[in-house]
Structure 1
Amino acid sequence: MNDPFARLPEAASFTVTSTTITDGATLPPAHRSGRDLSPQLSWSGAPAGTKSYAVTVYDPDAPTGSGFWHWAVADIPATVTELPEGAGDDTGSGLPDGAFQLPGDTRQARFVGAAPPAGHGPHRYFFVVHALDVASIGVPAEATPAVLGFTMAGHVLGRAVLTATAETPGEVVERLEVSRVVPAPADAVFAVLTDPQGHVDIDASGMLMAAEGHPVERAGDRFVVHMDRDALGDVPLGKYDVEVVITKLVPGEEIAWTVEGRTGSHVRHVYGYRLEPAEGGTRVTSYYDWSEIPEGWKRRLTFPVVPESALKATLGILERTVRRRMARR
């Protein structure tokens, strides 16, 4: 079983407890995707010489090849030994002065709850308090948790670990859908989704660097996206181009596409958005469907390659992008 500490420098142990989660037990609903409430954490017995703490939450069992980072907080003062429940909200309202949250694998600088794929079995969630020998670890606020971990490696005096689990039972789902009401008319939302640059603007992964092409108008239209896999640091693919191929387009109602590489066979999984009127704006449903891909690809890749949490993050960025474009009109 994957041990996230196996190749890290040894460090002294100290104690972390929680009033909202239990070591070895199942995560309560409050700390899962949808509610995304960070748990209460208290720690004691840190090694002498501790000058600050960092807190991380990591799922090594996520089907990504690199695990999944749910939360990272740096520069917690050495005088602080507790974080209240909900400290990891969008504003970090419960964090002490000087501490800050780094963007996790959804590219949100906040706590993101557990969301293991249906039928994938139990996942472990490692809640770790790191005792450090420096008052500030010196990473920028936009750094990834992996960069934080790499930088901390030579400064860790001790680790306090609490492990909880989560599982989504049932048959393996081959389609994900998430929704959000965007306070804007459908045509404003659709203008972003049909614009090649709009796809870059709403990307939550950090891989989409730029796009070339005209706004799409019908199924069969294409445009090019310049990718940089090094932004994720998981697979050494570097920079490459893909073509986005529109598979469905109903103006103001729905758009879907697949992605083709420049060489070889194509996976043919489908991404899309449905729009419908809603009180306060437009209900936007983002979906990801891999039900029609060839069996060969199902054996080669672990699906979904895009988690539900990433779809949610993209919807938030979509709303922000639509607001900004409308403000410029």
Structure 2
Amino acid sequence: MNSPYLISRERFVPASPESVFDLLARPAMHSVIDGSGTVRDAHPHGPARLAPGATFGMDMKMGVPYKIRNTVTEFQEGHRIAWRHMGGHIWRYLLEPADGGTLVTEQWDARGVRHRVMYRIMGVTRRHPASLEQTLEKLADYFAAR
């Protein structure tokens, strides 16, 4: 399904799916790999490692500082993790083993959001492709440096 409310990018990461998943499941690492420049808190509010149904908060900044709360909605150890933002959109990571590492797909999914047209009006759907690409680049660089 082609939709401006499902933005998806993928990249090879030189690490095992288990290693990539472990990093994604630790909210304290999200500020290290964030390509949007909005995640500010290296000490998130919630569990040290995510699990199905877990909730966690982050300190953010997009113009002005704010706090965000997320709930883990998809969790398949080593393969898939996603969390829903309070606004209803979902951040999802899909991991596939690849020769010498992992093919990581990051998705921003607002297809189920009632007032999703506001994301287009606010320019969110135009900014997210570059943010996803930068996040995946930071993720790959993190593991390449190890």
Shorter-chain-normalised TM-score: which range? 0.7 to 0.9
Asked whether 1:222 is paired with 2:55, we answer yes
Larger Rg computed on CA atoms: 1
Say whether the 8 Å CA contact 2:93–2:104 is kept in structure 1: yes
Moved beyond 3 Å, runs of 4+:
none
Aligned equivalents of 1:272 and 1:306: distance in 2? 17
Question: More relative contact order in 1 or in 2 (CA 8 Å, sep 6+)?
Answer: 2
Say whether the 8 Å CA contact 1:248–1:256 is kept in structure 2: yes
Aligned equivalents of 2:8 and 2:73: distance in 1? 18
1:304 to 118, 125, 138: 125
Aligned equivalents of 1:290 and 1:196: distance in 2? 21
Equivalent residue for 1:207?
38
Please list, as runs of the form range in 1=range in 2, the aligned pairs for 1:1-329 lying within 5 A after superposition. 172-210=3-41, 211-213=44-46, 214-218=48-52, 220-230=53-63, 238-260=64-86, 267-294=87-114, 297-302=115-120, 304=125, 306-324=127-145, 327=146
Aligned equivalents of 2:77 and 2:127: distance in 1? 26
- 1:269 deviates by 1.0
Query: What TM-score do you get using the length of structure 1 for normalisation?
Result: 0.40
Per-residue CA distance 1:118-154 (angstroms, 9 max, x = gap)? xxxxxxxxxxxxxxxxxxxxxxxxxxxxxxxxxxxxx
- Counterpart of 1:184, as a letter, is A
Say whether the 8 Å CA contact 2:13–2:102 is kept in structure 1: yes
Structure 1: which 5+ residue stretches go unaligned? 1-170, 231-237, 261-266
Aligned length, in residue pairs: 139
Q: Secondary structure at the match of 1:191?
A: helix
Say whether the 8 Å CA contact 1:180–1:315 is kept in structure 2: yes
Aligned equivalents of 2:139 and 2:130: distance in 1? 14
Structure 2: which 5+ residue stretches go unaligned? none
Aligned equivalents of 1:227 and 1:288: distance in 2? 17
Query: What TM-score do you get using the length of structure 2 for normalisation?
Result: 0.86
- 1:306 deviates by 4.4
Q: Secondary structure at the match of 1:209?
A: coil
Equivalent residue for 1:234?
none
What is the root-mean-square deviation of aligned Cα atoms in Å? Answer: 1.8
